[in-house]
Amino acid sequence: MNLKKKFEFLEHTADLKFIAYGETLASCFENSANAMFSAIADIDSVITEKHDIDLEAEELEILLHDWLSELLFLFTTEEFLPKKFNVSIRKNKNYKLHAVVSGEKFDNKKHSIKAEVKAITYHDMLVGKKDSIWTAQVLCDI
């Protein structure tokens, strides 16, 4: 099955809200990151850097929150603008995420900021599977 859309933005009065889709849990997390950074800046850029991310959480919502928060932290502290996300998630006792994130250093001559995401919230956050499609709903404070 090939999904027609990877994510969509939802109406919200003051913040950024989106739903991401995936055929797998990992691709749903990748598409969540794509949605967030599509809202932040133009991510059509050359890949020059890679970062490895390893996270662990008891619940999927916590893992998604921590995943997006870690990416936002890299963007705000290291000015790393991610473009490509290669995520794997496995479950033993807890959910474990490993990702290789590719992108480049933010350059205000090359990239323009569309929205300033301040934080990822738990409000309205949902992660689930229905009819073989994973979905993640996220609300970001802007």
Provide the residue ranges of all domains of the chain, joining segments of one domain with +: 24-141
Q: Is the pLDDT of residue 141 over 60?
A: yes
User: pLDDT tens, 40-61?
Assistant: 998 776 688 999 999 999 999 9
What's residue 1's pLDDT? 46
User: pLDDT tens, 20-46?
Assistant: 999 999 999 999 999 999 999 987 766
What's residue 134's pLDDT? 97
3-state SS, one letter per residue, for the chain? CCCCCCEEEECCCCCEEEEEEECCHHHHHHHHHHHHHHHHECCCCCCCEEEEEEEEECCHHHHHHHHHHHHHHHHHHHCEEEEEEEEEEEECCCEEEEEEEEEEECCCCCCCECCCCCEEEEEEEEEEEECCEEEEEEEEEC
Q: Is the pLDDT of residue 103 over 60?
A: yes
Topology of the domain comprising 24-141: Archease, Possible Chaperone; Chain: A; domain 1 (3.55.10)
Residue 5: which pLDDT band, with cuts at 50, 70 and 90?
very high
pTM of the model: 0.94
Taking only Cα atoms into account, the Rg of the chain, rounded to an integer number of angstroms, comes to 14
What's residue 46's pLDDT? 65
Average pLDDT, the chain: 93
Nearest to 87 by CA among 11, 30, 6: 30
Bigger pLDDT: 45 or 93? 93
Give the percent of the chain with pLDDT over 70: 97
